[in-house]
Amino acid sequence: MSDLTLEVPTTKSGMDEIRTALDAALAKEFPGGMLRRNWAGDTLELSGPGAKGVICFEDGKLVGRATLSPPASMMRGMIEQKIGTAMRTAAA
């Protein structure tokens, strides 16, 4: 198992401003339903083969946390890059 944490600063005031852009950016990075997304209030819950995580807004940052097990743990670099890209796009 592998834990992953990403933090992306933003000038936006909260998830209300980020939600639509974050959904679109994640859909672009993970096409075909490979990454399942579910909003629970202002927290985005993510899941996929061997991966569970959340993205939330904390202290002026988008914060993503995930636990990766096989097969996702073997693709940690790619997952980190794609989630990071989506978070940076939404935070801009």
Q: What is the pTM of this model?
A: 0.93
- DSSP run (H or E) holding 67: strand 61-68
At residue 43, the 3 state secondary structure works out as strand
Q: How far is CA 35 from the centre of its chain?
A: 10
Number of domains, the chain:
1
Of the pLDDT bands very low, low, confident and very high (cuts 50, 70, 90), residue 1 is confident
**What is the rounded average pLDDT for all residues in the chain?**
95
Instruction: Write out the residue range of the structural domain in which residue 21 sits.
Output: 2-91
User: Which tens digit of pLDDT belongs to each residue from 21-39?
Assistant: 999 999 999 998 889 999 9
Q: Domain with 40 in it: what CATH number?
A: 3.30.310
Of the pLDDT bands very low, low, confident and very high (cuts 50, 70, 90), residue 2 is confident
DSSP code of residue 34: T
User: Which tens digit of pLDDT belongs to each residue from 59-88?
Assistant: 999 999 999 999 899 999 999 999 999 999
Q: Do residues 51 and 68 make contact, with C-beta atoms less than 8 angstroms apart?
A: yes
